[in-house]
Structure 1
């Protein structure tokens, strides 16, 4: 029997583990992929919007070459924090079922079963992409993740979306020789795009280096073409690859399994106490991005790292 099972081995899950270590609680982190799996799946050349000190957990210094660290520096930092503190984590172990019976939780994974007095869900949202829901989305040339530009050199590439990830992908692929077209539902590039990148993409569109269709959407993907709906009518474009960076969502199935209540609106925000982070299910706590439901831009590392201490302070009342 564990005192705590932490589901999710990202920065916030690691922060929760550090609080458990201080109090000598019997805990384990279960992570479905690599350590900080979401960060690992970020584009290789990604630079954070936040400065390094805002990404620190448990006041452990994060030193980077520039004020805003890149992906590799973040991976190194959280890896060092995890290994130097000998946190207890099982990698590549995915949770398949989570339920509460009487006064404890049963957590079934792809490898074994655990029982725990408490559970912390720190699963983030990056593992489940928002589907386009159109014909051809399952073709091999379609991806919801972007890693690097090289495979798209000299190819006709459709980028769906106008978020930070979409803009970064469009610029990098264009600079590596790809023929880039952006298809954007809104009327302009997203306002949340990094302030030092937004002028770059707007200038590339204005000069014609990157084609952009605004107030438009992809309606069908074919082996060598893409059909889009625009204000000027339907257009069929030559295409080799579609990079559909349409956002991601939390694992609502896991929340529903264990009985966490969600708001009735499209946001599906889980119910929890903001002072303790305990959900409507006693003994089950939420930490990090998952607290926002579909509002995935509300919580970041810098403003949710405090969740670990809030949860630990509340658990001290029962675990000591």
Structure 2
């Protein structure tokens, strides 16, 4: 008969790993399930990305994070979290997507891709939000030339690139591809570059736009994408630009529909915040907890690694107390 674990943690991002570390410290039987690679969301960040936070604010489990500069890079973060997982010998099953979670006599039964099933008394959802982009919902968005996941700027060298958005991802894509020789145009719904853009980067993009190196259309939006052109609605009317590639840096959203399938209630406003106790992080479904950015619903800018680490402590303290 299959062993019933104390906890199954869904998501092997930094907060999911943090939950695993806290469970192990308390002697709880746990398993971490992840649909992709280790810290899958961080892996999909642009290869040259630098974090806004300093390295010590990204630390988990008391393990020092030493980086070459105060603000670490994506590659340094990937190496750090891998070392944490190895050093702690965390029980992680990668590339195993959770498909269903059902109640049973022992607590919960979890079915994953590949036909695997596991039993646990408690479930912790630490699934983040990076895997579901906000779509433009315009004709041509499904063309191969369009991506919602900007990665390496070299691919765009000497090409006509349109970047949609005005926050960190869009600004990084615009500046990096321009520096590799791309002809870059930005399309921005608002009247200016986003105020949340990293303070050492924002002056750079503003200056490049002002000098004309990067063209920007503010208060504008894409209306159609074709193989070699894009149409843009601007305050001066519709214009058509020659184009090779579109980087739609429009942001991402959590998979709230999966939470609803579990019976977790969402607020009826635009934030759609899941229902949970802020002291214990247990949801309205007894035995299911939330950790990390998923707690904010659609407000994905309120929770980060540094202010979500405490979620793991609250959750594991409550579960350990229930099991004692």
Same fold (TM over 0.5): yes
Distance (Å, rounded) in 2 between the aligned partners of 1:16 and 1:58: 9
How do residues 1-320 of structure 1 correspond to structure 2 at under 5 angstroms? 1-101=4-104, 104-111=107-114, 112-320=116-324
How far the C-alpha of 1:253 sits from its partner, in A, is: 2.2
Gaps of at least 5 residues in structure 2 are none
Q: Does the C-alpha gap of structure 1 residues 90 and 235 become closer, same or farther in structure 2, counting only changes over 3 Å?
A: same
Distance (Å, rounded) in 1 between the aligned partners of 2:112 and 2:262: 15
How far the C-alpha of 1:98 sits from its partner, in A, is: 2.0
Distance (Å, rounded) in 2 between the aligned partners of 1:295 and 1:7: 20
What are the superposed Cα offsets for residues 84-139 of structure 1, whole Å, 9 maximum, x if unpaired?
10000000011111233466122111021112110000000001111111111100
**Structure 1 residues 4-13 or 90-99, which shifts more?**
90-99
Distance (Å, rounded) in 2 between the aligned partners of 1:138 and 1:99: 35
How far the C-alpha of 1:174 sits from its partner, in A, is: 0.2
How far the C-alpha of 1:205 sits from its partner, in A, is: 0.2
Which SS does the other structure have where 2:50 is aligned?
Answer: coil
Q: TM-score, normalised by structure 1?
A: 0.98
CA contact (8 A) 1:98 1:254 kept: no
CA contact (8 A) 2:282 2:315 kept: yes
How far the C-alpha of 1:252 sits from its partner, in A, is: 1.5
CA contact (8 A) 2:55 2:65 kept: yes
What are the superposed Cα offsets for residues 129-184 of structure 1, whole Å, 9 maximum, x if unpaired?
11111111100010000111011111111100001010001000000000100000
What are the superposed Cα offsets for residues 212-262 of structure 1, whole Å, 9 maximum, x if unpaired?
000001111111111111111011111111000101111112101100000
Distance (Å, rounded) in 2 between the aligned partners of 1:67 and 1:50: 8
How far the C-alpha of 1:64 sits from its partner, in A, is: 0.7
| Alignment root-mean-square deviation, CA | 0.9
* Greater than 4 Å deviation, 4+ residue runs: none
CA contact (8 A) 1:181 1:212 kept: yes
How many pairs are equivalent? 320
